[in-house]
Amino acid sequence: MALLEVKDLDVRFAVRGGDLTALRGISFSLDKGERLGLVGESGAGKSVAAFSILNLIAMPGYIAGGQILYKGRDLAAMSERELRKIRGNRIAMIFQDPMMTLNPVLTIGTQMVEAIQAHRKISRKDARAIALDRLQKVQIPSPGKRLDQYPHELSGGMRQRVIIAIALLLDPEIIIADEPTTALDVTIQAEIMDLLLDLCEQENVALMLITHDLGVVSQVTQRMLVMYSGRIIEQGPTREIINDAQHPYTQGLINALPQMGEPGQRLFQIPGSMPSLKNVPTGCPFHPRCSFATDQCTRMMPEYVRSGNVDVACYEVANLIEQERRMQEAES
């Protein structure tokens, strides 16, 4: 059984003039110790997907359907009280901006001890010892001193290390990291990613990494999901998708990267931009930007088809697979 299994998750935002569907029919699973990447551009719904796992979406957002099974228990149907025992304890979260997640008026030590004591009956002294141990694990320089410092005394990279240390406090089984390095410089980003990767391997923690950076995903994760306009349009092993993407959007996204182009030549570009939730096109949401779009694409959302180990929601890919199958049949 998978550690975390999301089935047919729908998330909506109730706004004036009707509901906006932010996530539609999201299904994926995460195994113990696995590293999963969630990729998409802004507005694709990747952060909503991450937040909804711990039911952190505030009104007007709500989970309209589907299940989030953590070890067989449905987090979406759980009471706030029960959920609190899991949040930060079994499933921890790392957010994009470390300055927003740390309390500016409390020392690092106080915040860490508070988090431990919220979940375990333990003395202040013992909690501090755990906090110190985790700060050492994230290789922060002079960890003892950091316990008594305030967030503003640390640099951006150090703050993000503290955030990772806090996520590790209670030995979680899953860490959900929402753009953990986007606010940092490249050299610091590389260090933090290294650290996160090493720690997840050492402690056998499953990682769900949300990012817009395909380079980071390809370095860190084993499987990936590509999201577009609230749907998963492609999912499978990271290597397979990066090397041979099936969905026209994923292909476009990879080919639009400057490192894929010939220096000085025009880059591949996907025309247009992601639709807003207020007017998602009918059928496949990508069809107005897709060069393979047919009549069929404008009518109904395509079902997933399997190509290799990758699941893709695209009529064009389905047709190609069908053609291939017929050719093979004809040959035999």
Query: Interacting stretch for another protein, rule CB under 8 A, among 91-99, 193-201, 302-310, 317-325?
Result: 193-201
**Under rule CB under 8 A, residue 207 binds another protein:** no
**Beta-bridge mates of residue 251:** none
**Under rule CB under 8 A, residue 42 binds another protein:** yes
- As a whole number of angstroms, the distance between CA 97 and CA 159 comes to 9
Report, in Å, the least distance between residue 139 CB and another protein.
Answer: 10
**Which one of residues 33, 119, 239, 251 is an interface residue with another protein (CB under 8 A)?**
239
Q: What is the DSSP string of 26-50?
A: EEEEE-TT-EEEEE--TTSSHHHHH
Q: Which is nearer to another protein, 93 or 214 (CB)?
A: 214
- Pick the closest to residue 283 from 249, 247, 315, 236 (CA basis): 315
Judging by beta carbons within 10 Å of its beta carbon (0-12, 13-18, 19+), is residue 303 exposed, middle or buried? exposed
**Under rule CB under 8 A, residue 15 binds another protein:** no
**Under rule CB under 8 A, residue 199 binds another protein:** no
Terminal alpha carbon distance of the chain: 39
**Under rule CB under 8 A, residue 233 binds another protein:** no
**Which one of residues 69, 78, 242, 320 is an interface residue with another protein (CB under 8 A)?**
242
**Under rule CB under 8 A, residue 97 binds another protein:** no
Report, in Å, the least distance between residue 184 CB and another protein.
Answer: 9
206 DSSP assignment? E
**Under rule CB under 8 A, residue 90 binds another protein:** no
Backbone angles phi, psi at 329, to 5 degrees: -60, -45
- Please check whether residue 217 is in contact with residue 207, taking contact to mean a CB–CB distance below 8 angstroms: no
- As a whole number of angstroms, the distance between CA 39 and CA 142 comes to 35
- As a whole number of angstroms, the distance between CA 203 and CA 302 comes to 39
Q: Which is nearer to another protein, 53 or 310 (CB)?
A: 310
Q: Which is nearer to another protein, 116 or 232 (CB)?
A: 232
**Under rule CB under 8 A, residue 215 binds another protein:** yes
**Which one of residues 1, 58, 186, 330 is an interface residue with another protein (CB under 8 A)?**
186
Exposure string for 196-227, b = 16+ CB within 10 A, e = fewer: bbebbeeeebbbbbbbbbbebbbebbebbbbb
- As a whole number of angstroms, the distance between CA 205 and CA 173 comes to 5
Per-residue contact track with another protein, 243 to 282, x per CB under 8 A? Answer: ---------xxx-xxxxxx-xx-xxxxxx-xx--------
Per-residue contact track with another protein, 126 to 165, x per CB under 8 A? Answer: ---------------x-------------x-xx-------
Chain contacts with another protein (rule: CB under 8 A): 41-42, 141, 155, 157-158, 185-191, 193-194, 197, 212-216, 218-220, 238-239, 242, 252-254, 256-261, 263-264, 266-271, 273-274
